[in-house]
Amino acid sequence: MTDEKQKFTTVGEYLEAATYDVEPRLTEMREIIRTALPNAEETISYNIPAYKQDGVVVIQFAGFTHHTSLSFFPTAATFAHFTEELAAYRTSKSAIQFPLDEPLPAELVGAIARFRGDEAAAYAARKKSGH
């Protein structure tokens, strides 16, 4: 997508560096995530857009030549919760790939972001209570 040596400091910079074919998809993902996680802090983590909530990176997104991806860790609960919905997509240890030649599953992206936000809130509550 971009020159590997380029270091991003804002999500806006990341989007500006995107190629014309992936930039609209990334912008759509950004808006979906911002709507799903209105209190999350938008930042850059591992040189890609990330959203932090309750002190935890909840979700990240990235653009590539043939797909965009959502990344998050840990993945087990999310992958288990969305097993059927994710069956049509390629997944890795910490990411889901959405091919550029298919419509972005906006509802699924939003649902995953909200699910991860809930996980982060529960984690923060457990941490605060000492459990």
pLDDT one digit per residue (tens) for the chain, 131 residues: 544 578 999 999 999 999 888 999 999 999 999 999 999 999 999 999 999 998 889 999 999 989 999 999 888 899 999 999 999 999 998 899 999 999 999 999 999 999 999 998 988 888 778 76
Q: What residue segments make up the domains of the chain, in order of their start?
A: 11-117
Look at domain 11-117 and name its CATH class: alpha beta
Nearest to 63 by CA among 47, 42, 85: 47
Residue 122, SS3 per DSSP: helix
Q: pTM of the prediction?
A: 0.90
In angstroms, the CA 96 to CA 13 distance is 23
